[in-house]
Homo-oligomer: A and B are copies of this chain.
């Protein structure tokens, strides 16, 4: 049997985030690179707006590092839209080989894990990972078009309008900044939750599974990390995960955070169960967590984007919600 975790040395060379109005009004609002006040990013459809966010985020990440298309060996990208058109159209302008991903809201850590594996093994010198979600395109596809004004369940989460882009290169002894040092791909887990208005509950067991496997395989414990961050379990799922981890003998609640809990102000922003969507963990990692790691405020964290892998059709056909969580260990160097 293989070792379950992947040893990596991938320097997070550059990152950028683009968000919508609600995200800019949240507690992390001032940290994002780009924001559009009407969430349209100069386009005529919500889907095109999502693509444009990806284009702008990746372009900004390239610019920050003074890099060009030819400096990037491959892009790993995906989103929530059917056939992942947010990424396919959004990154069309770049003359860079493209690996399309579908990991639902786990795409941020899935893409970074693959990109890091590529650069750590010298397959390419640098790789990019990009993902996005948009509240209005997601509501149209997964819920009801926003014009209907449907009432939301208390556990329902709010899809983040945002795109995050990352560029990684192989770290060496001179690297300073944030470095991905280990990764562990998640297994798809399904524990019988079939309520699409409670995705946090469906995804918490997947995060639990990856975390417990990681602690056991690496002989580490929650105490070894300054923060353990999930992608978008939200308030409901985050509480469930902490309960599950305590029962497993790995209590994490004193060092636990969730990007879906961090991105909005729960009291004033009416977001019910918290933020969600591929963009949620991507923009929080990009704008909030990575700068704190680079500054040394967070010496070593575990970051797990979490994805619910159902479709509207699979739910209507009576299936439960499978979920997956990919883990990255990121350290200050």
Contact = CB atoms under 8 A, between A and B. Distances in A.
A84 B267 CA distance: 36
B92 A188 contact: yes
A185 interface: yes
A88 B123 contact: no
Given A88-B188, A98-B185, A82 B47 contact: no
A310 interface: yes
Given A84-B309, A118-B117, A121-B121, A317 B45 contact: yes
A97 B185 contact: yes
A288 interface: no
Given A1-B71, A2-B124, A121-B123, A309 B99 contact: no
Number of copies: 2
Contacts of A310: 83, 85, 88
A106 to B, nearest CB: 8
Contact of A89 (B71, B74, B322): B322
A98 B324 contact: yes
A101 interface: yes
Given A187-B95, A319-B89, A322-B92, A102 B104 contact: no
A26 interface: no
A70 B3 CA distance: 10
A226 to B, nearest CB: 26
Given A78-B100, A99-B103, 15 more contacts: A47-B314, A48-B317, A81-B313, A83-B309, A83-B314, A84-B102, A85-B310, A88-B310, A97-B186, A98-B187, A99-B110, A101-B101, A102-B102, A114-B114, A117-B123
Interface residues of A, number: 58
A311 interface: yes
A73 B187 contact: no
A42 interface: no
B6 A123 contact: yes
A57 interface: no
A96 interface: yes
